[in-house]
Structures are given as structure tokens and as C-alpha cells.
Structure 1
């Protein structure tokens, strides 16, 4: 039985490789009009450009001419995981200064995400990606897009 639990835990750890990462190019194309990604990497380990002693692993990083997609994937989504992701986002340019001019697109993924967590993600301008009928979908694209457009309009 322990072996089966171990195999299941290992399989859950490959959600990123098996399910999330293959959906990022499609999500980029369908929702953000990205024709082609210049870069897509899974489980990227990177040092901060500001503090070389700080190192971090990113589940999925993807970049196009105009966008930097940062994905955090959890087998079991919890509010504390979202809070950790929110706290990390302002530092993302320290880890990827080469994409400093790109619009940041944060995506939090899991196989399913409860509605209250989707609302929390939306409020924080983070896209929620989970399984739909056939493949992964952004659960809150319209909500985040509306908040983002509202903020952009008020800045002008």
C-alpha cells in the first residue's frame, strides 16, 4: 500500500509536466493573442539577479514578445499557497530581468480550484487555471481582465 501511495504522490507531482505545461501555449494564444512562445520551461531553478544567495524554483515560465507567463501549480490548492504566490510576484523581475519589459501574466493552476479561491485569485489579478470539460481552462479570465482594464484606465 505504501508503494501505491508513493506512486500516486509522484504522479501528482507531475501535474505540471503532464497537464499544465502543455496547456500554457494554447492559453497564451486563445486569451492573450500570442502567436508563438519564445520560451517555455518547466521547473526552472533560478537565482535572483539582485541577491545571488536567493534561489527559487518556478513551475512553468513562458515568454512571448510581449508577455511573461508565470505559473504556480499545486495538487491541492490552499489559500496559503496563493498568498505565497502573491508575495513572490513583485520579485519575479529579479529572477527574470531579461523579461523586464514584458507584461506579467500570473497563473495559479490545479486540477480543480474552489470558487472562493478563484474569487481570491481574481481579486489579486491572478488567473486561475483548472480542468474544464476536456482540458484546462482559465476560470476567471473575464474577472481578471475587467479588473486589469479598470486599473489601466484609471492610470491614464
Structure 2
């Protein structure tokens, strides 16, 4: 027969053992959670890198078509892909910059999107608004925007046209301008 004191000590030993097992289990859970967090961060980096590569792929796909359009339709002399400028610690990036001097005296900023969204129009406006701050040498030129997209809804196309932007979409693996015959672009 056990005494009440022995029963209490036995219960305390069992409780201590159970607590130690719980502590080990919690440490293992914590280690697994940290490992899971690390894996999620790594996956996020990989997905971000894949998105950047897809964007670069789309820009590369658009360049030959856009260069042809810019030279033949608009008479551009210079077509430069992936233009990056830094001034006073501020950065500015354009997917394609094209311009011509002389009688044409115009510049075109092309923004290439895999999937154009509403913010694509705001981004284009911001690029055109900030353009002369980063390129004062083109200050006297008429400035136009072209939104080139693989995927673009009809509503977003109409909105871009109303904003005065040219729209280019892919057709048979080639980007083509997609504007009405009476379209009047807005010079910025």
C-alpha cells in the first residue's frame, strides 16, 4: 500500500516527465516552423525571380516587333531597349525608348506588359510625366506612350486609348498596333 506522500511524488515524477516530453515536442515544432518559414521565403524568392524572367522574356519578345513599328510607322532613328537612368539618387526605367530628331522631333516610351492591368495605365502616365526630368535633352520633343501587352482586356484597351496611348498587342507571335484608324495620340 502506497502512502499519500508516495502517490504525490509519483504524480510529480510523471508530471515532470510529461513536461519534459512537451518541451521536446515544442522545440521540435519550433524548429520545423523555422524550417517552414525558411522554405516559404526561398519559394517567394524563386517565384519573384520567375516573374522577373517572364517579364524579361516578354520584353525580348516585343522588341523586334516594336522596333519595326517605331522605325517604319513613326520614323524613329534610335530604338533603345531597357533604358535605366539614375539622377540625384532617383531611378527611372523604360522598357523601350525611341526617338528621332530633325523634322520628326518626337520620342516614344514603350511599356511592355505580360498582363496589362489598371495600374499599367497609371504607370505609363507616371513614366511620361517624369520623362523630361530624366531626359532634359529631349525636352523639345513631342512625347508619346505605347502600352504593349500580351494580355489586355477590351476595357483596358479602350481606357488606354482614351488616355491617348497607343496600344500594341501580340498577334501571330508579333506585336502589332491595335488602334482605330481615327486614333489621335496625346503628346505629353
TM-score range, shorter chain: 0.7 to 0.9
Structure 1 position 125 matched with structure 2 position 164 = yes
Partners in 2 of 1:143 and 1:62 — Cα distance? 23
Partners in 1 of 2:47 and 2:90 — Cα distance? 33
Partners in 2 of 1:113 and 1:58 — Cα distance? 20
Segments of structure 2 that go 5 or more residues without pairing to the other structure are 1-42
Segments of structure 1 that go 5 or more residues without pairing to the other structure are 152-156
Range with bigger deviation, 65-74 or 6-15: 6-15
The one-character-per-residue Cα deviations of 1:49-88 (angstroms, maximum 9, x if unpaired) are xxx1321111111111222110111211100121122133
Q: Which structure shows the higher helix fraction? A: 2
Give SS of 1:101's match.
coil
Q: Is the 1:106–1:126 contact (alpha carbons within 8 Å) kept by the matching residues of 2?
A: yes
The one-character-per-residue Cα deviations of 1:5-57 (angstroms, maximum 9, x if unpaired) are 7886454222354222212231123432x1x52x3222211134xxx132111
Cα deviation for residue 134 of structure 1 reads: 4.9
Runs of 4+ in structure 1 off by over 6 angstroms are 4-7
Give SS of 2:116's match.
coil
For residues 16-31 of structure 1, the aligned pairs below 5 Å read 16-31=58-73
Larger Rg: 2
Q: TM-score normalised to the size of structure 2?
A: 0.64
Aligned length, in residue pairs: 140
Q: Is the 2:107–2:141 contact (alpha carbons within 8 Å) kept by the matching residues of 1?
A: yes
Q: Is the 1:122–1:143 contact (alpha carbons within 8 Å) kept by the matching residues of 2?
A: no
* Among 57, 62, 75, the residue aligned to 2:114: 75
For residues 1-156 of structure 1, the aligned pairs below 5 Å read 9=51, 11-32=53-74, 34=75, 37=77, 39-48=78-87, 52-65=88-101, 66-140=105-179, 142-145=181-184, 148=186
Partners in 2 of 1:54 and 1:5 — Cα distance? 27
Q: Is the 1:123–1:144 contact (alpha carbons within 8 Å) kept by the matching residues of 2?
A: no
Q: Is the 2:70–2:98 contact (alpha carbons within 8 Å) kept by the matching residues of 1?
A: no
- Structure with bigger RCO (C-alpha 8 Å, 6+ apart): 1
Partners in 2 of 1:14 and 1:29 — Cα distance? 22
- Aligned-pair Cα RMSD in Å: 2.6
Q: TM-score normalised to the size of structure 1?
A: 0.75
